[in-house]
Amino acid sequence: MKNNKTDFDAIVVGSGPNGLAAAITMQQAGLSVLIIEGKDKIGGGLRSAELTLPGFVHDICSAIHPLAIGSPFFNTLPLSDHGLLYQFPDLAAAHPFDDGSAAVLSSSLAETAKSLGIDEQVYLKLIGSLVKDWPDIAGDVLGPLHFPKYPLAMAKFGLNALTSATYLAKKFKTKEAKGLWAGMVAHSIQPLSNLSTSAIGLVLMAAAHLKGWPIPAGGSQQIATALSSYFISLGGRIETGRFINSLDELPSSKTVLFDVTPRQLLKIAGHKFSSIYKWQLERYRYGMGVFKVDWALDGQIPFIAEQARRAGTVHIGNTIEEIVFSEKSCWQGKHVDKPFVLLAQQSLFDDTRAPEGKHTAWAYCHVPNGSTKDMTNIIEKQVERFAPGFRELILAKHSMDTSEIEAYNPNYVGGDINGGVIDLGQLFTRPALRSSPYRTSAKGLYICSSSTPPGGGVHGMCGYHAAKRALKDIFSIIIDN
């Protein structure tokens, strides 16, 4: 007689924030769940290490986490009981200009708006209404395409979110407001003239006024550590150092959820998929990559603008025109001498990151997908431009080009940290056009990575929604919220 018993109810391949969220959701439903991670340490993009010198803790991938603390799923979990503590910068973000001034994004909606002068009322109308509506629409925005619970509020958000960032920028008159906006929407990692690029800027600005842009004490690794600790407390199991190349390498289970992008999924399970699904995955588009640098510093970065010395995140790019040119050029496969640089100063607000009196800094710029050009000097010139004397403080540095970033985490194909372009063509159909984006064409196999809605960011919502789909399909368990 055939034994139909399986080793586990569910297996999750990959332990990034989405894989962890998927595993937790399945385990909470009373199933037996195993996470398999290829690296020796869990976390995916949530890892920290002494990349430069002993005592200097650097975030290897993600650093600042407005979407983590604002995640509708993570907020339901007792992560503080499992060691997660956030530190909050004085200012969420600063955007310095060549004249020594800076635009700022603070926790106060009113103060941020007031600092923009004649653009105060425009900012209040644009971002204030979203701050008010966000608690109602967050679950719909951070999920697959479906009829929303609050259609009017969602429609109001969508009318602005689906526009191009350059179009919405026309609402502002001052260089401060335009520059601040450009730095926010550049997180979309595509030309600012593309439709839907406004969405990320709106969400990030609203997040600052709702819960801030916090820094995990001890490093981004602590988010993954807290999630895995909670998962294990529920009875879940984790195996590390076990890279999966094919389905044959997996223990038996009723379902498998993959925290991988389409390229890895095709390698592991492509032979199980229908021809149309394979065709769609093969046509999936990856976007611009990043070149990243970490520094061990002998002191605080000496930004000319006082506000930049108080911000957890600094957007370096000067005017909106300069940032628009930088991002468009990169999209076209070019490298620029003055790229948009996203910089984080974690050690200013978390003293566990560096020895006393010393500091760390984290930065990256966008580059063409697969670029191997060393951008270290160019990035340092951009920082020095707004903080003369910066280079004199460098004790040690560590850089990663797109190939090294992908080698570190195969989900970052060509250095793309978003798991694929999040433009209008892939906003609702990532990774394929299906009734559920989380189902593959093979029964029991699901994809739960940032290549599914809502896309990149440390929020776990891709994993949560994928797990909900699998629970309903395979186990007839329905989660309403």
Across 41-53, average pLDDT? 96
Token match 């020095």: residue?
Answer: 384
- CA dist., res. 265 & res. 17, Å (int): 18
Q: Strands of 60-205 (E only): list them.
A: 86-87, 91-96, 102-105
Q: Dihedral of the CA atoms 49, 107, 138, 461 (nearest 10)? A: 0
Average pLDDT of the chain to the nearest whole number? 96
- CA dist., res. 271 & res. 290, Å (int): 32
Question: Whats the size of the chain, residue-wise?
Answer: 481
4 has a pLDDT exceeding 80:
no
Give the phi and the psi of residue 477 in degrees, each rounded to 5: -105, 125
Amino acid in the structure at residue 151: P
Tell me what pLDDT residue 1 has: 31
Contact yes or no for 61/220 (Cβ under 8 A): yes
- CA dist., res. 198 & res. 161, Å (int): 5
Residues 278-303 have pLDDT tens digits of 999 999 999 999 999 999 999 999 99
64 has a pLDDT exceeding 60:
yes
Q: Is 103 helix (H, G, I), strand (E, B) or coil?
A: strand
Domain boundaries, the chain: 8-84+216-285+420-475, 88-212+287-408
Burial 18-43 (b: 16+ CB within 10 A, else e): bbbbbbbbbbbbebbbbbbbbbebbb
**Backbone φ/ψ region at 414: left (φ over 0), alpha (ψ -120 to 50), beta:** left
H-only helix segments in 290-361: 320-331
Beta partners for residue 100, in sequence order: none
Q: How is the chain split among helix, strand and coil, in percent rounded to 5?
A: 40, 15, 45
Residues 429-451 have pLDDT tens digits of 899 999 999 999 999 999 999 99
- CA dist., res. 20 & res. 352, Å (int): 25
Q: pLDDT-derived band of residue 238, with 50, 70 and 90 as boundaries? A: very high
Residues 22-45 have pLDDT tens digits of 999 999 999 999 999 999 999 999
Which one-letter DSSP state was computed for residue 384?
H
Nearest residue to 75 (alpha-carbon basis) of 214, 218, 202, 259: 214
**Could you tell me how far CA 252 lies from the centroid of its own chain?**
32
Q: Thinking of the domain 8-84+216-285+420-475, which architecture would CATH place it in?
A: 3-Layer(bba) Sandwich (3.50)
Contact yes or no for 340/317 (Cβ under 8 A): yes
Sequence-distant (≥ 6) Cβ neighbours of residue 212 within 8 angstroms: 66, 69, 88, 89, 92, 107
In the chain, the largest separation of any two C-alpha atoms, in whole Å, equals 80
Across 84-88, average pLDDT? 97
Across 410-414, average pLDDT? 97
Residues 134-169 have pLDDT tens digits of 999 999 999 998 899 999 999 999 999 999 999 999
Across 96-125, average pLDDT? 98
Contact yes or no for 190/216 (Cβ under 8 A): no
- CA dist., res. 328 & res. 194, Å (int): 10
Alpha carbon distances (Å) from 275 to 25, 269, 444: 31, 13, 17
424 has a pLDDT exceeding 50:
yes
User: Is the omega angle on the peptide bond into residue 431 within 30 degrees of 0, that is, cis?
Assistant: yes
Across 378-398, average pLDDT? 98
Residues 162-221 have pLDDT tens digits of 999 999 999 999 999 999 999 999 999 999 999 999 999 999 999 999 999 999 999 999
Contact yes or no for 105/93 (Cβ under 8 A): yes
Q: pLDDT-derived band of residue 6, with 50, 70 and 90 as boundaries? A: confident
Across 302-327, average pLDDT? 98
3 has a pLDDT exceeding 50:
no
Topology of domain 88-212+287-408, CATH: Polyamine Oxidase; Chain A, domain 2 (3.90.660)
Q: Strands of 143-279 (E only): list them.
A: 215-216, 237-239, 253-258
